[in-house]
Each structure stands twice: as structure tokens, then as C-alpha cells.
Structure 1
């Protein structure tokens, strides 16, 4: 949710009873993090901050800003994150990381994180595309003893109920909040999000290579398919300076035939713009789904 999930959205999610997250872009300054954290924490409610591990060596002030802000939770993922676990925990911050394979989840447990996010290939934005959410969740739950959250294509109370029934402690959601009034989404992007279907996304490294970003190659991104992606998918090595400039100009102009919109395969369920509180309330219906399903499955009483 980097670029979309700022302090305002995080605060709204936390006020509604979930844990709001600030997504930190790789180039964000320490001042930006401090400003967004002040907004997210204005009501004194818990919130979290998500960092990209691969970006921290080139921008160490981000970690310092998180340590100073002392959010309830920090997520450090996608790259060598283990070195940051202890400093964050010593500051009283709960630490999680995202894992795209069971092996990554085991490594996270060994690194000492407090919980692991099993993020399936359906997920929007960056992560592995090796394993889908459900088989990954099953494997991770079987392998680790720390709490597990599920991520990847979970946008409704039904989806949350499904992963809770499997044994997850909760869900890690992003796409569900993309059309929220508190999210930082350009009008042209919002229009495409609301019109998207479950088949509208594509996974790859086109947009990262075209921005000359240092994402580890195993972590591609899932975004709404557009003309730029289709033109360059499979030809990432040929992305030249002209293509780089084209993407940069399109981002500035809000031309989403070229610029990217990261979203999960569940984006087709995001059908209207609404407050974050309504999205959280929809997730809360998971309890009624579970209660009804388990009551139906209960054996008849014998007198």
C-alpha cells in the first residue's frame, strides 16, 4: 500500500477496530514517516508501519524514524530484514514479516519475528508468485509455532472467515482499502480499480525495471494489466531510457494506460468508494459466517 496507505487511511482503519498500516515508499524521507505517524497516532490508537528491507541500507533514516515513532507494529519484508528485528523489538515494537513460501516463514521464525504473514501469489503489489494463499497458509501453519496472518486476495468477511477457519490469527489486507475515501488514489486510478475484474491483474517486474528500482528479482508485483505492461512483459531487459521516461511522465500525468496500479486478484470485489470503517465492518461479518457454518455442521443432539 505504499503511496496509497498513508496516515489518514491508517487512522481510519484503526478507529474502526482493525490495525491500520502506513505503507512507506522506498524513497520516503524520515520526515514523511514522522508526519504520517503523527496523523495515524493522533487518537492514541495502535497502528503499524510497513518498510521494504531492500530499501533500508540506502535510506537508513527510515528505520530511525520508525524507532522514534514507536508504532504498535512494524512490518519489514522483501530483502535482508533479520538485522532489523531486534532493534525494533527493543523499542517495544511488534515485528512481522511477509513470507511467500513455507521456507521463508521458517526463516522468519528463526529470525525472531513475533508473527509471520503468509502472503500468497494472488496478493496485490510486491511479493512472490510461487504459491497461492490457501496452500501457502496450510503449509506455514503446519511448519511454524509463531502466530500466522494470511494475505493475498482477502477482501471480504467471507475471505477472512476462510483463513480464520484454517487457523490463521487474522488477515493482512490491502486491496480491500484501495477505493476508500481516506486512501490516496488519483481519480483516474480509482475509476480503473472500480471497473476491474478478477482477471484484470498481471504479475511481473516490468514496472520495477522501468523505474530502475532495486527490488530483489524474486519479488515481482501484481498490478492491473495495461498497455505498458503488455508491451514489455518478457522483454524487461530491453526497457531503455525512453521507456523509463515514458513511465515517469505517465505517473506524473495520471495516465494509467502506462502507469501502474497495484492490486490483488480480488480487486473485482472492490465495487464502490466507501469509508474505511465500512470495509472493516464488512470484515467483521466473518464471525457470523463462521458461527452459521459451524452451527450447520454440528451433529444433532441425541436425547
Structure 2
């Protein structure tokens, strides 16, 4: 198995991070990914109290292996208990992304925590480096969930690797050993994968959502702000979300201003989430969703990524 900054820093068997997926991956998924030899993370929803963070951190720590937590910088000013709980838990890695990083990097690093930030442009990566992060995640527009959609993973990774001096991980479309081999060969210190784990039993996805995800093809996602606007979420507008395309998205895409004033549509989405109607409710996923075809345990997904060793060894053959 290739040794990289990521594997050496955290004692990993596979140079891979399970991305923090708020609302889908909690402490249970993080623990399963870490126990399998990668680094598992859980994402903190914008309105989660510090007590929830503490509970999930305890679950994630149960693997006895390093784990991480993902925070949304734009949400932290209104939820100070989240940062307090993270500092108390002292995970190995914390990702702070999507907003002003400056108030949070030094407190985290001062607690002995490695700090990452996801970046969707080269300028954003440089800003994260100036803020003092330990590692930048070059996240291309293929990625599921929230982030920028300006640049795809491969051109972004090449540019960021040339621009910054800190280690770089690659996110967006990294869903198999082939994808991991590609980004390692380019110079990344590891992969950052979310969609690959969406079919796992350890996620919090409801059965109907998982079934829809497993049936989706590679062209089955769409990017935009429809679901955030409908819920009145305060995501910065530059960070839309990539999710499975559905009827609700198609109806409102391009009509976000109108949607922001339509209380009926807001109630419709709320009811659909409660009732498991995924023609209206959302399932965030990236363009690699077509590679997720079966429900599998997280350990099996990590084991699949471990085949990167065989792929990369081809380059070493005489």
C-alpha cells in the first residue's frame, strides 16, 4: 500500500478519508470506515447542538482508530456549542469549510487537531492555506452534497497541487480504487470519498432513499440551490448542492427567487422528507453515484479502495 502524508499522519492502511456527510453519515459510519483502515468522518448539521456532536464523537471513537468531524464555517457563529464540543472531543481531524475559516483554525490546531478545508477553486485553496490549515481538500464539482461547481476535480487538483505548499487531498468522483489511483498518481496525498459510502448499511439513509440511490445512473444528479432555498437554509449562494435529480428540483430550478417566497412548496418539501417521497425530497450524491450499485458494509467499500496498491504497482513493473 502506498505510504503518503495521510497514511503516516493518522496511521491508516488505505490513503482515504470518508467524507463528512451531514445528515447521512453519523458516528456509526465514521467508526466503521476507521475500523476498516481508512479515516472515517461525520458531518455536523447546521442546527445540531453541541450535545449531538459529543454523542456522535463518542460513537466514532469507539473504533479505537483516528476519526474526524466536519464543520460548516457559515453555521458556526449561530451554533458556538458545536466548536466547543469538537474541541472537547479532540478528534484527529476536523474539516472546516464553506465560510470564514479564520476564527476556527487556530483554536483547533491549538488543541492538537489536524485541520482541513475543502476548496472548490485554486484561490479558495490558497485562502485556506493562508488561514493556516494543515491540509487542503481539492473538491471538484462532481462531488455530492454542497460545494462549488466551477471546476472539475482533475483540473482543480492539478492547479491546487502547483499552487499550495501544504498537503492536498482530492475529492469529487473518487469512488473506486481506480479513482484513488488516479489522484495519487497526480500527486494527492489521498482521496476524500463520500458518494462511495452512500450505499452502506451504516449510513442513516432511509430504505426508500437508499433504493433510489442504488438505482441512479451516472447522469442522475443535478446541481443547484433548490433544496436549500425551499428550506430557507442560510448556505452562502456560491455553495450549491449536488443531489439526485427529481421532479421537485426540475420544477423549481431557475425559479429560486419565486421558491424563496412560496410557503406551499416549503411545506411540500417538509412533508416529503417526513413521508419518504423522493420525487420531492432530496438525496445528496455525486456524479460517481452510478458506481454505487449494491448495499455493502463500509468495511467492504474500504477493502475495494485497497486495490489501489495493485493498480499503482503496474507503474513500477519493468
Q: Same fold (TM over 0.5)?
A: yes
- Displacement of 1:35: 0.6
Aligned ranges 1:154-233 → 2 under 5 Å: 154-233=174-253
CA distance in 1, matches of 2:133, 2:109: 9
Q: 1:280 aligns with which of 298, 302, 306?
A: 302
Q: What are the ranges of 5 or more consecutive residues in structure 1 without an aligned counterpart? A: 299-303
Aligned to 1:245: 267
CA distance in 2, matches of 1:82, 1:244: 34
Q: Give yes or no for the alignment of 1:267 onto 2:289.
A: yes
Q: 1:120 aligns with which of 140, 146, 170?
A: 140
CA distance in 1, matches of 2:299, 2:315: 25
Aligned to 2:312: 290
Aligned to 1:38: 58
- Displacement of 1:43: 3.2
Q: 1:23-66 CA deviation, whole Å, 9 max, x = no partner? A: 11111111111110001002321100000011001111100010
- Displacement of 1:171: 0.5
CA distance in 1, matches of 2:67, 2:206: 24
Contact 2:35 2:64 in 1 (8 A): no
Residue-pair matches, total:
296
Contact 2:168 2:188 in 1 (8 A): yes
Q: 1:106 aligns with which of 96, 111, 126?
A: 126
CA distance in 1, matches of 2:64, 2:40: 12
SS of 1:208's equivalent?
A: helix
Over the aligned positions, Cα root-mean-square deviation in angstroms equals 0.7
CA distance in 2, matches of 1:45, 1:160: 21
Aligned to 1:137: 157
SS of 2:159's equivalent?
A: helix
- Displacement of 1:294: 4.0
Aligned to 1:301: none
Q: TM-score, normalised by structure 1?
A: 0.97
Aligned to 1:28: 48
Q: 1:227-253 CA deviation, whole Å, 9 max, x = no partner? A: 000000000001111111111111111
Aligned to 2:277: 255
Contact 2:170 2:188 in 1 (8 A): yes
SS of 1:145's equivalent?
A: coil
SS of 2:63's equivalent?
A: coil
CA distance in 2, matches of 1:78, 1:286: 30
Q: TM-score, normalised by structure 2?
A: 0.92
